[in-house]
Structure 1
């Protein structure tokens, strides 16, 4: 059994980790931390876990995280980098769901997250936890920086186009028009996520620059073999609890007009258990992936022209966060990658 600890288990990604790991056939939930809720049974805060999780929250000092095999950080940015070095020295693998180990350039991290990076020596070692792109590196890793929810949808949506030996689309002007449910903002109390503010409303935000942009560009350029990629990313907040719908646009180059893009995507993701390339002309819905680790993609070429439209849906809390973390853990420990993750999406 894999002994698992969770730091910061009181947020939405924390409770998703608990939901997934409690049902994982090869996991023993060993510790979960919260300074504020020290001593409170997890099931008192999250009644959905009654009968499934018997742990109580504890401070990090009491939790004995160094006795775990792997520790997940479901915490605000800046927490994991303060504790990662000590855990790694104790032989514990670390999976961070925040941004501490996503960006390779510490100056970029400080620019977008308004804090200096406190363990830059670990950035080179950290592996970006996108299994469909970095599976072999994840297999050997002891430190994972998990992708953000938006970046997961954008990178997997564009990946088949960029992973070819030569450009198929204008890589300097990719566009991502993305929408997320309010749970993407976390469980903290903020005015813009109040029911009276978010319901019956739809708005863009972060148009000038969103912190997921440098992470996504870094990943896309890596997929493209180092070629420079230009991306315009516009996120939106929609009045639903969970889910991401990303509509991606790419202009097909003249020399690639005869490409069968449907087959390109199907072949690229052939064998991937958590990426579903849907039949041509499909329109995936966010509810078709709710509470699952599945990401669905559909390819469109309106009017048979030179604009390619890629539709991507995922659950921001599962494939966009906790589920992807469990997927990485499975790979790191050499067990079935799908273990604990084959939940059927919830309808309605």
Structure 2
């Protein structure tokens, strides 16, 4: 497989950037050679994240000071809005570099939809058209050939893995989908926010961005591709007082199918997938079963309401919901084993 790939991480002082460091530090085919964090420039990663005390890592620098020509790939963990112009600058400096973007800036294919949901015109339209949506299980071949991969958000990953095979098989009514989603507080980022303070988030459960969350159009885009029609979903996220983890409970109307048909379709879709596991009938997915890992659990339960079913999916929002999926895509882009660096067992308890 040749020498190790030289990797850079933009926004290494955030939670997704840090988890990319955690996973890549033990990746057999990767060498971390550049870490950026403009607000922490000059510091070591061990200063910003003390759990990296044993690693020999490059110091954090401003992104403008990195020699991008010497890197094989870059992971971008910057906030949406700032990512577009920085990624464009990196690709101008090194057109051959592989970009794994973990922000939302390149996920939406329609420029008008992006402007509607993010409040401004896209600032790198030439790259938006090039980007491949990075949900590995559905776009594997395109990802392998891509230069820029837009890795999905954690909510869309959990929801789409549960629903896309069902929509594609026309087993559910795509005009009647309700997604009740819950995520740990790391999903809100590492910045200081009142609603994520321990005394405010602890011992409570809070809905947020009700009816207006920016992951909704991403979910609709991909279910629409599977269904071959425009789709609108009812999506409500909640903040739950734990650091990691995500669970989506999707309520669906059946198209002449049974809950067992849904489970069979999911089992068939993921029979050869290394990270997506459909649980047996009567077993319920739980966040603690996938914490710290790149694995996903999906289960199907019959609703007590006739002709309806409940599909439950769970993942770690920082791993399969972000950095882990990005590494899975990187492996594909370099022709490496897809599971390389990602076979950690979940942390339990």
* TM-score tier (shorter): over 0.9
Segment drifting more, 11-20 vs 109-118: 109-118
Q: What is residue 127 of structure 1 aligned with on the other side?
A: 132
Residue 248 of structure 2, aligned match among 246, 249, 255: 246
Q: Contact 2:211 / 2:235 at 8 angstroms: preserved in 1? A: no
1:259, CA displacement in angstroms? 6.2
1:154-173 aligned within 5 A: 154-164=159-169, 167-173=170-176
Residue 100 of structure 1, aligned match among 105, 114, 122: 105
Distance 1:104 1:344 in 2: 34
Residue-by-residue CA offset, 1:180-207 (whole Å, 9 max, x unaligned): 1111000000000001110111121222
Aligned-residue CA RMSD (Å)? 1.4
Distance 2:78 2:211 in 1: 26
Matched, 1:26 2:34: no
1:29-108 aligned within 5 A: 29-89=32-92, 90=94, 91-108=96-113
1:1-348 aligned within 5 A: 1-89=4-92, 90=94, 91-164=96-169, 167-224=170-227, 226-254=228-256, 256-257=257-258, 260-303=261-304, 305-348=306-349
1:151, CA displacement in angstroms? 0.5
Write out the 4+ residue segments of structure 1 that deviate beyond 6 Å after TM superposition.
Answer: none
1:263, CA displacement in angstroms? 1.6
Residue-by-residue CA offset, 1:111-169 (whole Å, 9 max, x unaligned): 212232111111111000000111111010000111011010111110221122xx222
1:65, CA displacement in angstroms? 2.4
Q: How many equivalent pairs are there? A: 344
Distance 1:39 1:151 in 2: 35
> Unmatched 5+ residue regions in structure 1?
none
Q: Contact 2:9 / 2:17 at 8 angstroms: preserved in 1? A: yes
